[in-house]
Amino acid sequence: MKLDNNIFVFALLIVHVNISMSFFKCGPDLKCSCTTRPPGTVAMDCKARNVKLRQVCESIAIIYPKVSDLNIARNNIGNFNPEDVNHCRNISSLNMNYNQISSLHNYVFVDFRNILTLDLSDNVLDIYNKTAFDPSVLPSSLRILKLYGNFREDNNLKESSAYPIFTNLRNLEKLQLDGVETDFGLEYEYSSVRNLSLSSKGPLGFCLIKDIFPTTFHSLINVRVLDISSCRIENIYRDAFKHMKSLEILDLSLNRRLGFSSLMNVSYSLQFTNIQFLNYSRVYTSFGVGTIILNSDICYLRNTSLKAIALDGNKVQMIEKNTYLLLPKHLETIYAQENKFSFGLYLFQFGCLEHVQHIDANNLNKVHAPIKYLAEPKPKNDNDRSWNSECPFMTEESLKNIAKDIPACTYVPPNETVADWKPQFSRSLKIVNFSGCNMVYNIDNTQITINPSNNSFEALDVSKNAFHCLSSRIGPFPNLKFLSLSRSYCSFINSDFLSMGKLENLQLDQNYLGGMFAHQGGRDTFEYLTNLQTLNISTNGITRLKKNIFNTLIMIEEIDLSSNNIEMFAVNVKPLKNLLHLNLRGNAIHTLNNDFRQLLEDNSERIGNNFTLDLRNNSIEYSCSNQKFLYWLLYHKKRLQGFNEMVFYRLNGSSVDSNAFLRDVPHLRAQCRSYTIAMVLSALGVLSAGAMITGVILYKKRWKLRYWYYMTKQNYFGYRRLLNDYEDENYRYDAFISYSDDDLHFIRGEIIPRLEDCGMKLCVHQRDFLPGIPIRDNIVDAIRTSKKTVVILSKTFVKTQWCIFEFNMARMESTDNRVCENGCLVIVHFENVPAKSMPLEILDWMDNHSYIMYTRDPDGQELFWESLATAIER
């Protein structure tokens, strides 16, 4: 032995152990990995490291704390001698899976006093040949023994073959073997084995047992758990399990040619056992016609102690009526995933499942990969089986009797097909899962009532279906605590649907609710969820959240908003006195406000529990203006999920990783001092410049401001903006005439008669303004209620304050509020006004718009009246 080398390794080990108490390299050339386990022992993993058994065992001698578990699978180990495993004798678990061991030396396991688990699976031991394999060489302390994968399909089973007998292993509890077509010997009556697996499921070994005869398992009187899944079983005889009086769990799944035709014999057999759980899943191929469960198949189950049954992946399309009445009285759980249920009377009889608490029917109508079709055996169609069963429980009399004692259950007599009773659920039902069932529904205009109203539903998983719109009431669900609508293509959900006051956990992730939150606010979506503790609205394309969206969630502890596109988290957090965990990962957050930070700190302190915050994959701003938040993050870095992965961004776009952040943030305050001064100075500058600019703007916009003032006032008192299409019908006047009193003769003598005679209605202030109302309001009102405003521009008009006011108001109305194709303001150039006496606004307007010239010339007058009439009518 190269002692020096070992000491060196030893020293190295100590160093490693000190650095990391849980994980270190070990074994020959440090090829293996060791993990320390809580009570001071070590698990050594040498799987597929190309190591020799002897060297590994020798290295164990110097590892401290002592190695208790050794995995040396896949190292091409052949037969070995007692000396090879000398230093391994103290271990409690040895895994030698997938090596080349063909026989065991008589003394190899001598003095393995502590070993509990031995895995010799996938070797080449000739286990079923009594002369070649002597089970008595195995250590008697063993509790778990794995020997599957030693039989190859091409090994023909010899006449003399038999299951090996382990009666010397008095502590053996669990045994895994390959399943071959022979009976278990009488010696097994004395075996202590409780869990027996012959399955070839997954990576396990070989199993081919076509028929299960009454003799096959006759002597397994102590076995509690029998796994004969994936054993290519085709027939099971009536008394197959009759003698297994300890049997509690039977797994018959994945025997794809078994079908329901054997279920009657299985049911019969199980009456004599202590059965608790039967797995009868996938006893058909994945493709082919649907199947039906008949009363005769399960009739004898009524007389069993079954608590749970699994019928997954059996293409069940129909269940005979009254079948539920034959299920064992104390059945609590039904697994029925991956079937293809069709509508039938059985759906109305849910109430007959008196004690069933949990129904799992996920992935109904699941699509299977076509490649399976080639891999699976020929499909079995046993739907035409017609039993002449003697089972006493399925007589009409008996079924009626059973139904009589169950409150929500209705017995359906042989000839009755459609009854008008409502579907009822049993009051025991608590957990119902219908995830991924291709259900496509909107619940948006009819209420759905669940009977009975005092049902016990606690958890409902209907995720991975398609519910586009959920806006009317379903229920009541007075006890519902968990609801999952994940990945449901949902774009609308409201408080009517969510009126489930007891709900504690709501999963709405992976939907399309972002649009709803952004546009309509989703204001009271969560209104009634006053007991909600966990809300998941991750991956919903949310861009913003209304301030009061979470107002009523007073019990909320955790909100998951990850993978959305939120820039500002500015909701009102004051009522969220229990919020401790917020996930904002994968958004566009720059900062979080002080209210929110304070809330988390206060909640933590009051509740006595640390808050957590996930801010990974955001755009947190690394800048002086954000320094308070950055210091807060630094202080609470332990509360930040995945802090090491966090990235911060400077204003110039460059990024700061978490290490740089830890290094630089403490100096930020100093760096930002100059920034602060600059801020103060520039703020002062901005203030004075601001005052000036504001003054200028105020002056420039004075008309606009006045106009706004009047508009706001009118809006407040009920003015509604008129739509273009309805304008004509909605105007009180065709035109409001704006003129100076000096030109009254022109208005009285010509404008009014000429225009009103051809059917127009004019608004003229001396005639039409209402007394008792301020003149400004009268003007604005006249402009608003007239289709056009006609300005009679004269020398006195431009000098009259009220006239200028009218002009400006009309101008604003024309440009700001109303859509007039040809302008709502018509200017009549009544007399020549020198440009220098005209206000700028009027000059400017006339530069850009046409106006009508008044003339005293008779021919010209004709044209003038015509143009004016058209200008008003357009």
Ligand X SMILES: *[C@@H]1O[C@H](CO)[C@@H](O)[C@H](O)[C@H]1NC(C)=O
Where does this chain bind ligand X (CB under 6 A)?
A: 87, 89-90, 126, 129, 131-132, 144, 158, 160, 173-174, 194-195, 201, 225, 229, 235-238, 249, 253-254, 261-262, 265, 271-272, 279, 281-282, 303, 310, 335, 392, 486, 509-510, 534, 536, 538-539, 558, 560, 586, 616-617, 645, 647
The number of CA neighbours under 13 Å toward the Cβ of 293 is 28
- Closer by beta carbon to ligand X, 616 or else 787: 616
Measured between alpha carbons, how far is 686 from 689 in angstroms, rounded to an integer? 5
- Closer by beta carbon to ligand X, 611 or else 710: 611
Cβ atoms 282, 201 nearer than 8 A: no
Measured between alpha carbons, how far is 296 from 262 in angstroms, rounded to an integer? 11
Closest alpha carbon to 254 in 316, 207, 301 = 207
Measured between alpha carbons, how far is 525 from 532 in angstroms, rounded to an integer? 13
Smallest gap from Cβ 298 to ligand X, in A, equals 14
Smallest gap from Cβ 470 to ligand X, in A, equals 18
The H or E element containing residue 293 is: strand 291-293
Smallest gap from Cβ 641 to ligand X, in A, equals 12
Smallest gap from Cβ 66 to ligand X, in A, equals 7
- Closer by beta carbon to ligand X, 64 or else 421: 64
Smallest gap from Cβ 225 to ligand X, in A, equals 4
Measured between alpha carbons, how far is 62 from 621 in angstroms, rounded to an integer? 54
Bond prior to 476 in cis (omega within 30° of 0): yes
- Closer by beta carbon to ligand X, 643 or else 864: 643
Helix (H, G, I), strand (E, B), or coil: what is residue 840? Answer: helix
- Closer by beta carbon to ligand X, 69 or else 781: 69
- Closer by beta carbon to ligand X, 71 or else 253: 253
The terminus-to-terminus CA distance of the chain in angstroms comes to 112
In DSSP notation, 502-562 reads: T--EEE--SS--HHHHHHTTTTTTTTT-TT--EEE--SS------TTTTTT-TT--EEE--
Measured between alpha carbons, how far is 486 from 509 in angstroms, rounded to an integer? 5
- Closer by beta carbon to ligand X, 282 or else 544: 282
In DSSP notation, 32-93 reads: EEEEEETTTEEEEE-TTS---HHHHHHHHTT-SSPEEEEE--SS------GGGGGGGTT-SE
- Closer by beta carbon to ligand X, 157 or else 289: 157
Smallest gap from Cβ 54 to ligand X, in A, equals 14
Smallest gap from Cβ 237 to ligand X, in A, equals 4
Report, in angstroms and rounded to the nearest whole number, the Rg of the chain calculated over CA atoms.
44
**What phi-psi label fits residue 760: left (phi over 0), alpha (psi between -120 and 50 degrees) or beta?**
beta
Measured between alpha carbons, how far is 849 from 139 in angstroms, rounded to an integer? 109
Cβ atoms 487, 509 nearer than 8 A: yes
- Closer by beta carbon to ligand X, 362 or else 510: 510
- Closer by beta carbon to ligand X, 199 or else 323: 199
Neighbour-count burial of 570, counting CB atoms closer than 10 A to its CB (0-12 exposed, 13-18 middle, 19+ buried): middle
- Closer by beta carbon to ligand X, 227 or else 354: 227
Cβ atoms 179, 209 nearer than 8 A: yes
Can you tell me which residue has the tokens 């740089």?
A: 660
Cα 100 to chain centroid distance, Å, stands at 47
- Closer by beta carbon to ligand X, 286 or else 536: 536
- Closer by beta carbon to ligand X, 272 or else 631: 272
Smallest gap from Cβ 567 to ligand X, in A, equals 16
The H or E element containing residue 664 is: helix 658-700
- Closer by beta carbon to ligand X, 297 or else 734: 297
Phi/psi for 41 (5° steps) reads -120, 170
Q: Give Dmax over CA atoms of the chain in angstroms.
A: 138
Closest alpha carbon to 828 in 729, 760, 735, 695 = 735
Q: Would you tell me how many other CB atoms lie within 10 Å of the CB of residue 240?
A: 24
Smallest gap from Cβ 216 to ligand X, in A, equals 12
Smallest gap from Cβ 616 to ligand X, in A, equals 6
- Closer by beta carbon to ligand X, 455 or else 563: 563
Smallest gap from Cβ 249 to ligand X, in A, equals 6
Q: What DSSP state is assigned to residue 183?
A: P
Token pair of 408 as six digits: 């929500």
Cα 498 to chain centroid distance, Å, stands at 16
Smallest gap from Cβ 8 to ligand X, in A, equals 21
Pairing of strands 316-319, 308-310: unpaired
Bond prior to 65 in cis (omega within 30° of 0): yes
- Closer by beta carbon to ligand X, 214 or else 501: 214
Smallest gap from Cβ 235 to ligand X, in A, equals 4
Phi/psi for 425 (5° steps) reads -105, 155
Pairing of strands 655-657, 647-649: antiparallel
Helix ranges, 255-328 (H): 263-270, 295-298
- Closer by beta carbon to ligand X, 491 or else 778: 491
Q: What DSSP state is assigned to residue 750?
A: I
Cβ atoms 830, 746 nearer than 8 A: yes
- Closer by beta carbon to ligand X, 87 or else 636: 87
